[in-house]
């Protein structure tokens, strides 16, 4: 199936009749997935600076209202239908990882589930990865996204569409009047220029080097700003707080970062991760060792955002590089 590029916005308008459509767009400060107002242009040149995770896991989200006078708590129930048109394969993979945490582990997160069930993802295959992209080293195919409902790839004056799921079939039916026949197999293969060699037992090797001086060196320049967690599509740690008015108020959760000292500090002052060395080690090991141990897959999708935006030029790919280097040095 194909859709002519000049019909793309008409197709979006058909979808927008029944769901809120989000597109990668240029923002004032950073590119991000924004609500499409019916006229805005998609930004497809490179991936957005901000990840799409907030559509499933908002920066700040109401969980429940409490009323101590009445003795009640009232649960929030998000129910908005959302379609993301133009999510990159790396970001689709990040959603699959978030699913593991919020849907497939011991407890189901009801807020995430409500948003996830209402989400349709139309992926946009990457034709030109950025210099910081390394998704194909992290088992993502730049031009394909099996976890998306629909995948679209640029083919000159049109997009080639592949439907993966019943939600995708629904999108196809909504926009059928704009579609024409076309093959999907004419998408040229794409390769990232940044390559990361990682051994199969990387997680074991990293844990074995828990006390290695390399963590000190790696974290030396870290400012503890938390930018990496904020723009990471898979960083899902959160804090729970409340906005209180006397005896009533709202409990909310919001993004948190393991790079902050407050994150793990206990009442009484003890902090199991007292310096940036322990904090950076925990973040990298969570991505590359702990998550693989628990969920069977690396938590890094190779989107390269943290490399691109870190003010201190920290680079997560240095970690497997060091392991590889030390291996080859014997």
Residues at the contact surface with other proteins, assessed by CB under 8 A = 63-64, 66, 68, 71-73, 75, 101-102, 105-107, 109-111, 207, 210-211, 236-242, 244, 246-249, 251, 253, 256, 258, 263-268, 270, 272-274, 278, 282, 285-286, 289-291, 293-294
Give me the least distance between CB of 260 and other proteins, in Å please: 10
Strands 238-245, 248-255: pairing is antiparallel
Distance CA 49, CA 28 (A): 12
Give me the least distance between CB of 295 and other proteins, in Å please: 9
* All residues at 6 or more sequence positions from 161 whose CB lies less than 8 Å from its CB, including other chains: 1, 2, 3, 150, 151, 152, 172, 179, 184
Strands 119-124, 82-87: pairing is parallel
**Vertex 20 angle, CA 17 and 23, to 5°:** 115
**Structure token digits, residue 32:** 């991000």
Distance CA 288, CA 218 (A): 15
Contacts 24+ apart (CB under 8 A), 112-117: 112/56, 112/57, 114/77, 114/78, 114/79, 115/55, 115/56, 115/57, 115/78, 115/80, 115/82, 116/56
Strands 82-87, 20-25: pairing is parallel
User: By C-beta, is 185 or 211 nearer to other proteins?
Assistant: 211
Give me the least distance between CB of 92 and other proteins, in Å please: 21
Both ends of the chain: CA-CA distance in Å?
52
Distance CA 136, CA 302 (A): 7
User: By C-beta, is 153 or 298 nearer to other proteins?
Assistant: 298
Give me the least distance between CB of 96 and other proteins, in Å please: 16
Instruction: Please provide residue 299's backbone torsions phi and psi, each rounded to the nearest 5 degrees.
Output: -85, -5
Give me the least distance between CB of 48 and other proteins, in Å please: 24
Give me the least distance between CB of 216 and other proteins, in Å please: 15
User: By C-beta, is 40 or 249 nearer to other proteins?
Assistant: 249
User: By C-beta, is 30 or 254 nearer to other proteins?
Assistant: 254
User: By C-beta, is 98 or 150 nearer to other proteins?
Assistant: 98
User: By C-beta, is 29 or 107 nearer to other proteins?
Assistant: 107
Give me the least distance between CB of 230 and other proteins, in Å please: 14
Give me the least distance between CB of 196 and other proteins, in Å please: 21
Helix (H) or strand (E) holding 272: none
User: By C-beta, is 154 or 278 nearer to other proteins?
Assistant: 278
Helix axes 89-102, 110-117, angle to 10 degrees: 140
User: By C-beta, is 139 or 210 nearer to other proteins?
Assistant: 210
Q: What sign does the dihedral 29-33-38-43 (CA atoms) show?
A: positive
């Amino acid at each position: 199936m194909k859709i002519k590029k000049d019909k793309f916005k008409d197709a979006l308008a058909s979808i927008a009749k029944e769901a809120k459509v989000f597109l990668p767009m240029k923002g004032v400060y950073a590119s991000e997935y924004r609500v499409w107002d019916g006229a805005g242009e998609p930004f497809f040149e490179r991936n957005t600076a901000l990840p799409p995770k907030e559509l499933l896991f908002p920066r700040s989200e109401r969980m429940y209202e409490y009323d101590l006078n009445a003795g009640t708590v009232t649960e929030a129930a998000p129910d908005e239908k959302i379609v993301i048109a133009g999510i990159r394969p790396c970001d689709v993979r990040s959603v699959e990882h978030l699913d593991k945490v919020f849907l497939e582990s011991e407890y189901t997160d009801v807020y995430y589930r409500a948003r996830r069930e209402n989400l349709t993802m139309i992926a946009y295959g990457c034709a030109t990865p950025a210099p910081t992209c390394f998704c194909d080293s992290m088992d993502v195919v730049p031009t394909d996204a099996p976890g998306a409902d629909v995948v679209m790839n640029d083919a000159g004056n049109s997009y080639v569409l592949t439907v993966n799921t019943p939600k995708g079939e629904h999108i196809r039916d909504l926009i059928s009047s704009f579609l024409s026949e076309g093959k999907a197999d004419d998408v040229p293969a794409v390769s990232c220029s940044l390559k990361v060699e990682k051994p199969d037992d990387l997680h074991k090797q990293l844990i074995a080097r828990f006390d290695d001086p390399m963590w000190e060196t790696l974290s030396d320049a870290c400012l503890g700003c938390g930018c990496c967690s904020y723009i990471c599509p898979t960083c899902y740690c959160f804090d729970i707080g409340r906005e209180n008015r006397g005896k009533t108020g709202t409990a909310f959760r919001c993004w948190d970062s393991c790079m902050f000292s407050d994150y793990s500090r206990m009442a009484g002052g003890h902090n199991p991760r007292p310096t940036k060395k322990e904090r950076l080690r925990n973040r990298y090991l969570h991505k590359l060792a702990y998550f693989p141990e628990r969920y069977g897959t690396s938590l890094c999708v190779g989107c390269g955002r943290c490399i691109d935006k870190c003010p201190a030029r920290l680079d997560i790919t240095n970690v497997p590089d060091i392991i590889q280097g030390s291996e080859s040095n014997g």
